[in-house]
Amino acid sequence: MALEEITVQLDDKALPPRVAALITDADRRLDDLFESNRNRRVPRFLPSDPVLLYRVLKSLTEQDLPLGHNFCEWGSGFGLGACLASLLGYRSYGLEIEEDLVVLARDLASDHAINVENLCTSYFPEGFGSYSAHGGAELMTPEPVSHWGESNILIPAYEGMDCEIDEIDVFYVYPWPGEQELMHSLFETVAAEGAILIAYYGEQDIAAYRKTIEDE
């Protein structure tokens, strides 16, 4: 498998009122979190750029590039990305391992009447993980299972999610420095052929990829 980068054309139109109100409110809540020092309980939380994500996802959606309308945000924090996807018509999930952030994400979605499943779980499916290696973190996968002479890695559904991972059409992640390739590897391993990964790398740097089969 391989990742094929997708060229995305972004517009600079004014955001829809509901989207703008959501982002403004999320920014206010984020400021409150940091001013109260409650962020010390979630020291690895760093928000991405919601306006940029919205414009990228909107462009992909308007071009009808995703195969369907299931969206999953890895490391969702406040769940703002998952909320934006829901407003664009996706069945949306946010995966966050920090319980305090999941509570805040659920409050944000509920207060804006947005349908999102915010789950307190790791974005690594059961049996997967990461380990430190030279050059950055690398993906750890479970042992393949042999069946009729073929060996395949079984990919279980995320706990609490009512669809399989290979039914997710668009993933979104803001990887930590040194974990970019890890997230690419995770996506290549667990996503279905044709699925899309949106990755935000910081400082207005965002990219979209489709999982494809390498030419033999």
- C-alpha to C-alpha distance for 170 and 194, rounded to whole angstroms: 9
- Which tens digits make up the pLDDT trace of 165-205? 999 999 999 998 888 999 999 999 999 999 999 999 988 89
Structure tokens at 53: 């994500």
Domain that holds residue 119: 2-212
Tokens 């990919």 correspond to: 155
**Residue 4's pLDDT band (cuts 50, 70, 90):** very high
Q: Are 141 and 153 in contact (CB under 8 A)?
A: yes
Q: pLDDT at position 38, please? A: 56
| The two three-digit tokens of residue 39, written as one number | 């962020």
Angle between helical axes of 99-111 and 80-87 (0-180°, round to 10): 30
Strand pairing class (91-96; 116-120):
parallel
Instruction: Provide the number of structural domains found in the chain.
Output: 1
Its sign, for the CA torsion 30, 34, 35, 40, is positive
CA dist., res. 93 & res. 75, Å (int): 11
Separation of alpha carbons 69 and 92, rounded Å: 8
What is each CA distance from 203 to 2, 57, 78, 138, in whole angstroms? 26, 18, 19, 24
Residue range 28-69, pLDDT digits in tens: 998 888 777 654 555 555 678 999 999 999 999 999 999 999
Contact 170, 71 (CB under 8 A): yes
> What is the residue whose two structure tokens read 């993906």?
139
Q: Could you tell me the pTM of the whole model? A: 0.90
169 within 8 A of 69, measured Cβ to Cβ: yes
Tell me the torsion sign for CA atoms 77, 78, 80, 85. Answer: positive
Per the rule left: phi > 0, alpha: psi between -120 and 50, beta: everything else, 107 is alpha
| CATH number of the domain within which 138 lies | 3.40.50.150
pLDDT digits (tens, 9 = 90+) for 99-129: 989 999 999 999 999 999 999 999 999 989 8
Question: Quick one: CA dihedral 177, 30, 124, 165, positive or negative?
Answer: negative
pLDDT of residue 151: 57
Q: How many residues does the chain have?
A: 216
